Chains A and B, each alone.
Chain A
């Protein structure tokens, strides 16, 4: 009897202990990751998160889309002020200066070191690493989705004017646009002039021509940087664009008008656009049946020594005020994203480019760039690595840059509507932009960019 009783007791105790121990064992540490992509891209991020969760048992990342980059930053700030911030957050390129001064992050390089991960930072493409690194070269965040602009050109249309190659200089572009117009094309080239196009029209143009956007090496060397785009080669560029617009060589295409420039290119309405490599997939999927097109590096003015283009997109920041267990999880997650295999998955399913040389090599060795839908995207890497980044082609690090971009849109619209001359518009851009920078500097008295 006693033996049976004891046996039961032992059994019960055993059952109880496993019942207690198993969930404690299997319950992974959960942490939040907020991101700003939506639609198709959000689904790819969700798959990425699922892959991470399936790859190990200790951590579980909960990925939540906040709709867009602006909203992600706003919501993260609100959450941070309420003490409910996510562990990892995706912050867009121009939010970098704001993040650096926030004091609300845990440096990514320190995080990885503390948790025993060895990351070879020299493996990142220098153009990408420098954009997000401090002036001393430390990586405070991890580059995530990255892109750079390319020129998309319609081979069929160019064949009609006897061209088989994309124009390399703006002088050639001007001649080709005129030829296209004469050949009966109604819209040789499409641009848009909202805040978003500050990226390819102003920032990338300036980098390719080694022209500054702002003093103090585009803001890397201090918060007292001020804009100077009203006295660089950019003035000539805007003057030319306006001239071509007036001559009917360039058309403005935006969603508000009915068709954005990517749609205008894909349907064959317009023959030349400048947009992100991230649109490569969209053009391929939505193009008119049988249309021949290709991508090339953005043109430069004749006689310019071409420099690297800038990276666009976003990086992953780890926020402060979280537990050690959550940081361990975040480190594992960042390490997972850093893996070349993830780079292949990410670039295959989105238009983004790999951020590391090993990721790029891995993709090349897998024949990624040989196949039809992805062929051409290697041009983006060529553009990003066209030169070693100079002091002013590292990037643009200005406070409240979102507002400066908005001001760019405002002044370009005023210029194209003939309300002001090119020089007046750009002078106003500099004046209003400087007021924004001034205000940013006042908000952070005594602080310096790391």
Chain B
């Protein structure tokens, strides 16, 4: 007679899942739940007590004009920096894929910016873009008043976009290069034999074949531009001038930690979370349709 050790499907499944669930609960659901609770109350910073206010926090935030300015600034930042970081990375990857001289070097060097911590990078760019002392001082010498991130909001926004894009070019580059190299050589060689040029091959063969990567990077870049911009803003502009670079994630920090308005900051985080979820859903619904998975 054959003896078999059997386990109930349910218990063993749950047992295996418990450590993972526990981690997710501790580090995600519990804090997120706390944030939701805080956003519905008025918290005294020192923990002396709190009052249930329902949706008042959301109402006061959404009726505040400066909060809408912050959303607009975040959108502009996300749009331009994602576009810049992805386009530059795509061009660099396409060039590297063509086995130009020294391409092995770019492959190594171009990932480095991603490894640099945002504050360190921001400090470097603050020096480079300082209108009186840095590289831009030369430009200002030629055209006085051309570059003034201290008072001109557009200039300040440009500085943080440049810093952020610079960091993400390296990250995007690695993904694009991998995608290009996964395209069978025979396809490109066949096209070349048929007489199509470099540009033609890029648009008709390579580009359609890497759309899954483009889509993946688009989602990641937009999400990160909402979340990873904090260090850069904090060091380079601190949200100024006149709130021109007060991105949503920075406003959460300054209201919550500097202003000790924990409830308002919690409500803002919830709104930011919903916004990122919504943007991701939109991208999956409408852009993913045009993606060709092999």
Contact = CB atoms under 8 A, between A and B. Distances in A.
Interface of A: 70, 73-74, 77, 80-81, 98, 101-104, 194, 252, 254, 256-259, 400, 402-403, 406, 409-411, 413-414, 416-417, 419, 432, 435-436, 439, 442-445
B242 A70 contact: no
A410 B46 contact: no
Contact of B48 (A74, A102, A194, A254): A102
B240 A410 contact: yes
Most A Cβ at <10 Å: residue of B47, B150, B237? B150
B122 to A, nearest CB: 11
A417 B151 contact: yes
Contacts of A81: 46-47
Contact of B42 (A73, A252, A409, A442): A442
Contacts of A432: 66
Q: Which of the listed residues B43, B134, B152, B254 has the most CB atoms from chain A within 10 Å of its own CB? A: B254
Nearest to B244: A413
B226 to A, nearest CB: 22
A98 B260 contact: yes
In terms of DSSP, what is the predominant structure of the interface of chain A? helix
Interface centre among A77, A103, A406, A436 (most CB of B within 10 A): A406
Interface string B30-60: 0000000000001111111001000000001
B259 A194 contact: no
Contacts of A194: 238, 240
B184 to A, nearest CB: 51
Given A257-B132, A258-B131, A414-B242, A403 B151 contact: no
A413 B133 contact: no
B257 interface: yes
Given A403-B255, A406-B254, A444-B44, A413 B236 contact: no
B242 A419 contact: yes
Contact of B44 (A73, A256, A435, A443): A443
Contacts of B66: 432
Contacts of B153: 417
**Top 3 nearest A-B pairs by Cβ distance?**
A258-B133, A258-B132, A413-B241
Contacts of A259: 132-133
Contact of B151 (A80, A103, A413, A435): A413
Contacts of A439: 60, 261, 264
27 contacts: A70-B258, A74-B257, A77-B45, A77-B46, A102-B45, A102-B46, A102-B48, A194-B240, A254-B150, A258-B131, A258-B134, A258-B137, A403-B254, A406-B254, A410-B240, A411-B242, A413-B242, A414-B241, A417-B151, A417-B152, A417-B153, A439-B261, A439-B264, A443-B42, A443-B44, A443-B51, A445-B51
Interface in B232-262: 236-243, 254-255, 257-261
A226 to B, nearest CB: 17
A77 B44 contact: no
Nearest to A98: B260
A38 to B, nearest CB: 15
Contacts of B150: 252, 254, 256-257
Contacts of B131: 257-258
B149 interface: yes
A257 B45 contact: no
A258 B261 contact: no
B242 A256 contact: no
B64 interface: yes
Contact of B43 (A73, A104, A443): A443
A96 to B, nearest CB: 13
B111 interface: no
Given A403-B255, A416-B151, A444-B44, 5 more contacts: A254-B150, A256-B237, A257-B150, A258-B134, A445-B51
B126 interface: yes
Chain B CB within 10 Å, residue with most, of A77, A80, A103, A443? A443
